[in-house]
């Protein structure tokens, strides 16, 4: 059998590569292996001119899918041809195989300690240390840690801060300004504007009434610190809900990928000769 010609280019679709990398990131116990499927084609350059002297087609291998399995490998890591042919009887779509290793273990360790104290006491003593594991010396090296808080000493951390989701611009009237008697049309317009502002505010802090924002402006704002804390709390709840939705979506994607793997394995198994 003649050896296969050299490939000039290899292509893989974005979803296939993302799925393959996802398997690598979620494998934390051992290495994993599998088979790559696709097709090989000859492509001719499209930008040909009258002066083009090189019109040699390009041999392109395109990866379209993969199957995670290590049954075709022997304990020593060699490929078992008999097992491979049983897994893939029609090898025309088989391009090759892959092997992955999980990420290295973390090198930073955060050690927290809290002594037993009286539960009725409002004062608690906690201690923490951070160590970095050095692979060269196989030892733990203590590392200092800086706590980032709000204050003059930490302004540098917020100098280049730009919010990804800016707070909506709302038309808030100060509570101590004199009330202006409007006609019915103006009142209806203000009611619509208030409803619109409330919807925009609910995106950041659901359940916080927009009229309470006027208490956070002017010289009387210092008397409404609880209202400000309530606003922050509702914003954190909103962020927590969004985080939960992202986690649930990721779990559904992983569940669908596992289902697709089972279907692919079932198809390959049913196609194998008895």
- What does the pLDDT look like over 52-110, one tens digit per residue? 555 677 788 888 888 777 777 766 667 777 777 777 766 668 888 777 665 556 677 77
Tokens of 206: 């659901």
Paired residues of 131 in beta bridges: 109, 142
CA 215 – CA 222 distance, rounded (Å)? 9
User: Is residue 60 situated within a structural domain?
Assistant: yes
Domain span at 199: 168-274
Residue 120 lies in a domain: no
Q: Is residue 149 part of a domain?
A: no
Close Cβ partners of 111 (under 8 Å, ≥ 6 residues apart): 128, 129, 130, 131
Tokens of 146: 């800086």
Q: Are residues 81 and 183 in the same domain?
A: no
Q: How far apart are CA 111 and CA 92, in angstroms?
A: 54
Backbone angles phi, psi at 42, to 5 degrees: -100, 120
Q: What is the pLDDT of residue 119?
A: 60
Asked if residue 29 belongs to a domain, the reply is yes
Q: Give the pLDDT confidence score for residue 178 in this predicted structure.
A: 47
Domain count, the chain: 2
Cα distance between residue 28 and residue 98, in whole Å: 17
Predicted TM-score (pTM) of the model is 0.35
Does the residue 159 lie in any domain?
no
Count of Cβ atoms closer than 10 Å to residue 190 Cβ: 13
Q: Can you list the residues of the chain whose pLDDT is less than 70? A: 1-4, 25, 27-31, 45-55, 74-77, 89-92, 100-106, 113-124, 146-185, 211, 213-225, 228, 271-274
Q: Which of 209, 206, 210 is nearest to 171 (CA)?
A: 210
Residue 116 lies in a domain: no
Of 1, 4, 6, which is closest to residue 59 (Cα–Cα)?
A: 6
Which residues in 50-81 are b (16+ Cβ under 10 Å) and which e?
eeeeeeeeebbbbbebbbbbeebbeeeeeeee
Q: Are both 80 and 177 inside the same structural domain?
A: no
Res 165: pLDDT: 52
Cα 59 to Cα 40, 41, 78, 90, 175: the distances in Å are: 7, 6, 28, 21, 74
The reply to whether 241 falls in a domain is yes
Task: Return the number of other C-beta atoms located less than 10 Å from residue 210's C-beta.
Answer: 21
Q: Could you tell me if residue 225 is inside a domain?
A: yes
- The predicted pLDDT at position 13 comes to 80
């Amino acid at each position: 059998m003649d050896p296969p010609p050299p490939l000039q280019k290899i292509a893989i679709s974005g979803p296939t590569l993302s799925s393959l990398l996802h398997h690598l990131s979620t494998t934390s116990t051992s290495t994993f292996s599998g088979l790559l499927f696709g097709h090989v084609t000859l492509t001719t350059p499209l930008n040909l001119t009258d002066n083009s002297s090189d019109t040699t087609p390009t041999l392109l291998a395109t990866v379209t899918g993969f199957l995670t399995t290590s049954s075709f490998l022997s304990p020593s890591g060699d490929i078992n041809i008999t097992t491979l042919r049983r897994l893939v009887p029609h090898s025309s779509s088989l391009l090759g195989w892959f092997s992955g290793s999980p990420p290295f273990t973390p090198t930073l360790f955060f050690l927290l300690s809290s002594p037993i104290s009286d539960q009725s006491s409002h004062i608690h003593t906690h201690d923490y240390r951070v160590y970095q594991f050095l692979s060269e010396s196989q030892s733990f090296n203590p590392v200092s840690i800086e706590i980032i808080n709000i204050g003059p000493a930490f302004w540098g951390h917020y100098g280049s801060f730009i919010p990804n989701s800016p707070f909506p611009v709302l038309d808030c009237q100060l509570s101590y300004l004199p009330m202006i008697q409007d006609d019915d049309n103006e009142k209806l317009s203000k009611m619509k504007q208030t409803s619109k502002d409330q919807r925009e505010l609910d995106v950041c802090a659901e359940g916080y009434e927009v009229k309470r924002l006027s208490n956070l402006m002017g010289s009387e704002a210092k008397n409404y610190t609880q209202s400000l804390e309530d606003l922050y709390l509702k914003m954190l709840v909103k962020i927590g809900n969004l985080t939960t939705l992202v986690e649930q979506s990721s779990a559904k994607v992983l569940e669908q990928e596992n289902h697709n793997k089972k279907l692919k394995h079932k198809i390959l198994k049913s196609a194998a000769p008895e």
